[in-house]
Structures are given as structure tokens and as C-alpha cells.
Amino acid sequence: MLCRVPVFRQRPRGGFTLVELLVVIAIIGILIALLLPAVQAAREAARRSQCSNNLKQLALAVHNYHEVFGSFPPPGFHNRDGEGASSSSTSWGPSWLVLILPFVEQKPLYDRYDFRLSRSRDGVNAEVVRTEIATYRCPSDQLRQPLWNNSNVLFARGNYGANGGAGNIFSRSNFDDRSNERGPFHLGRHYGASIAAILDGTSNTIMIGEILAGDRTGDVRGAWAYPSGAYFTGSSPHYSNPRYQLRPNGIALDDNQADRPAFCSAANDDRQLRCFAGGSRAVQTARSRHPGGVQVALCDGSVRFVRDTIELNSWLLLLSMADGQPTADF
């Protein structure tokens, strides 16, 4: 007798209903919304870490320069040394970031720079100054800024500036008459301090800090090879009325906290980059894209994070190297 094998027929499976599909999409959306800030925070932490590492390398390079020459590099040179030079001159020579190229593994680039030429935009120097250098860029400033245009010579951008003190980095009278505001670098005197001159102590004085690169061809900020693009300072000259004193990441929509760079070009609604023409005694502060503050390298080579809520007086004390006052915690 033949046995009949029962045949089991699969019941047709139904698909997702529209409601179920919408619920799944909503759950995925909620998960993405929860995870996205964490992912962004992790990415920013990585960028900030790289930025900190760059600062450490630059601080070490400045110390190596000091080991060879007996002082920090001048923040820049100008051929009008005897008469002084305005910040808005287009004839500045090399910046401190050019001078330390051999100490950041850029000796071949340094060797191409012709120091016999008085201007950084002359001759073969034009090719050097347009070179992008990763160590000079903070990855948190992700916007791809156009190169700065100086008389049709293009300058690449960077994100690190030399500390010009609590006073003004271009004002010679600030340097001569207000030694308590003096910083480790001064453009008006082509001055780089020796470690012995840092009377407040190397762990209480800022050497290098972050700056934001300008986002237009007419804005000099961040031009690493140009002295008036690679510094920050605490104030306009002491004889200015009013005297502008800037905190790190000062809200640029406030006229008193906006940068006044040598060459200014920015959107009027930009909270960080809005600026005014600085004239012959430009002033610009330390700025970054990091939430809550800026990173700085102290003169002892350590890297610290300075919150943008720091009291103005405490910030100015960190910028000056011989004020004789105790530095508050930061």
C-alpha cells in the first residue's frame, strides 16, 4: 500500500504594513539623532588632539630655534627696520613660521626661500609662501579658505599665531614704555624673547596659540608666511581711545571684540571672523573652532586649553611675560 505523504503548504507571508514601516523609520531616525552628536564629538576630539599635537611640535621647534640662536625667532622682518613698518604694509619679509621651517621637518622648503630678497612675495619666495603645510593647519578649522592675495602673490593659510603680548605687537611705544605688557614676540621691534627674559615663568606665559584663517582672498588672517597674518595680541596700543582689549574667541558681532587685522574682509554676520580695518596698529585675538575655548602652547612647551569665559585680566596676564603678577588658574 502506498503511503500518502502529507503536503504542507506554506501560508503566504504578509509584508510590513505602512504603520510598521513608519515605526521602524522613526526608530532609526531617533537612533541617528542620539548617535550623531556622539559621533561629531568624537570627531572633534580627534581633530582637537591633532591640533594639540601640532602646537607641541611648533613649541618644540621654537625651543630648538632658541637652542641654536639664543632667543625665540622674531615674529617677522621688514626692510624698514630703522623707521618701523605698519601692519598694513604689503612689503613684510618672512614670518616666524618661515624661520622655524627647518625644525618642523621642512628644511627643503626653507632652503628654497631666498632671504636676500626683502619681501616674502618676491621671486622664488612666491612659490614657498603658497605651500600648504599640514603641521600649520588645525583640522577643526575645516573650511577650505582661499589663499590670501598680496599683489597677485598667493599665501597659504595656517591656524597658529605668535603671542604679541597684552599690549600691541606693532606699537613700539607699547614695547618701550609698557614692559609689563610685553609678550615673547614683537613685530615693531623684530623681537623674539630669550627664556631668561620671561620673568613671569615659562609655565605662566603663552608662546603660541590658535587663530582662525580668513575665508576671503582679501583677509590676511592665517597667512602663515606673512608676519601680520600669523600672530595674536591682547590690545590695541595704549594710546588708543577707546582701547580695544580682546578675549579669546571674542564675539565679533560686538564691535569691541571684533578683530582689526591688517587686511580685513569678512561677512558682517560672522560671529568669529567679522572684522574692521585695523590701520597701522592692527589687533587680533586667539580664535578656534573648538567649542568653548582655544588651545595654546606655553613657553615651557606644554599645551593647555583656555576657555573663552576666562576673565579678561587673567587672559592679559597670560599674554604678558613680565607683569610681576601671579597668574590665576585657567
pLDDT recorded at residue 280: 81
Mean pLDDT (whole number) for 130-142: 93
Asked if residue 197 has pLDDT above 80, the reply is yes
- Strand intervals (E) in 175-317: 185-186, 191-192, 206-210, 231-232, 293-298, 303-307
Proportion of the chain above pLDDT 90, given as a percent? 74
| Residue pLDDT, tens place only, 4-52 | 555 545 555 556 687 777 777 878 877 777 766 665 666 766 788 899 9
Proportion of the chain above pLDDT 70, given as a percent? 90
pLDDT recorded at residue 16: 64
pLDDT recorded at residue 132: 95
Mean pLDDT (whole number) for 62-83: 89
Measured between alpha carbons, how far is 299 from 167 in angstroms, rounded to an integer?
18
Report which of residues 205 and 49 the model is more confident about: 205
| Residue pLDDT, tens place only, 210-238 | 999 999 999 999 999 999 999 999 999 99
Using CA atoms, how far residue 281 sits from 9, 88, 169, in Å, is 89, 8, 8
Report which of residues 20 and 122 the model is more confident about: 122
| Residue pLDDT, tens place only, 297-323 | 999 999 999 999 999 999 999 999 999
Task: Return the closest-CA partner of residue 249 out of 309, 205, 182.
Answer: 309
| Long-range Cβ contact pairs of 49-54 (< 8 A, separation 24 or more) | 50/138, 50/139, 51/138, 51/139, 51/140, 51/159, 51/210, 51/288, 51/290, 51/295, 52/295, 52/303, 54/135, 54/136, 54/137, 54/138, 54/160
Measured between alpha carbons, how far is 262 from 255 in angstroms, rounded to an integer?
16
Asked if residue 145 has pLDDT above 90, the reply is no
| Residue pLDDT, tens place only, 248-292 | 999 999 999 999 999 999 999 999 999 998 888 899 999 999 999
Asked if residue 73 has pLDDT above 90, the reply is yes
Rounded mean pLDDT of the chain? 90
| Long-range Cβ contact pairs of 18-22 (< 8 A, separation 24 or more) | none
pLDDT recorded at residue 10: 55
Measured between alpha carbons, how far is 151 from 278 in angstroms, rounded to an integer?
19
pLDDT recorded at residue 41: 63
